[in-house]
Amino acid sequence: MPFLLHLVTKLPIPKEMRLACQRTLLDRAYDKDISVARKLKDKDKVESLERNHGFEIDLHDEDDDSCLTKKLLTKARQLRIITFNNIVLYGSDIRCENCSD
């Protein structure tokens, strides 16, 4: 499975699609390993795999959230929406750094 995950990262596809494919591959790999451990009735192995799966999914979700944040910030710039990155506090006065007032 690591080969497929590595292969997906090299494909010339949009990042959202790449992340979705990686998520599917991660879920399939862990589901398969967890079901084998359950058939063998190895509770420690099942718990370990479930924790590892949760950790991998958390990392993946961070990448997914980062991608979505970048996409939303790009859209906000296109629409010229003021975001917190552009706001600077001057004493009690709030001004926008890149805005023409």
Closest CA to 35 of 25, 46, 24: 46
pTM (two decimals): 0.65
Q: With respect to residue 24, please indicate whether it lies within any of the assigned structural domains.
A: yes
Residue 91 included in any domain: yes
In a domain, 60, yes or no: yes
Structural domain containing residue 57: 2-96
- The C-alpha angle 4, 61, 74, rounded to 5 degrees, equals 105
pLDDT at site 76: 78
In a domain, 101, yes or no: no
pLDDT at 95: 54
Burial class, 49, CB count within 10 angstroms (exposed 0-12 / middle 13-18 / buried 19+): buried
How far apart are alpha carbons 93 and 43 in whole angstroms?
60
Q: What is the pLDDT of residues 22-77, one digit of tens each?
A: 899 999 989 999 999 999 999 999 999 999 999 999 999 998 999 899 888 888 77
Confirm if 8 and 16 have CB atoms less than 8 A apart: no
Asked if residue 34 is part of any domain, the answer here is: yes
- CA atoms within 13 Å, Cβ hemisphere of 54: 6
Structural domain contains residue 49: yes
Is residue 90 included in any domain, yes or no?
Answer: yes
The tally of domains found in the chain comes to 1
Least confident range from 11-25, 55-69, 85-99: namely: 85-99
Q: How sure is the predictor about 5, in pLDDT bands with cuts at 50, 70 and 90?
A: confident
pLDDT band of residue 9 (cuts 50, 70, 90) is: confident
In the predicted model, what is the mean pLDDT of residues 73-90? 68
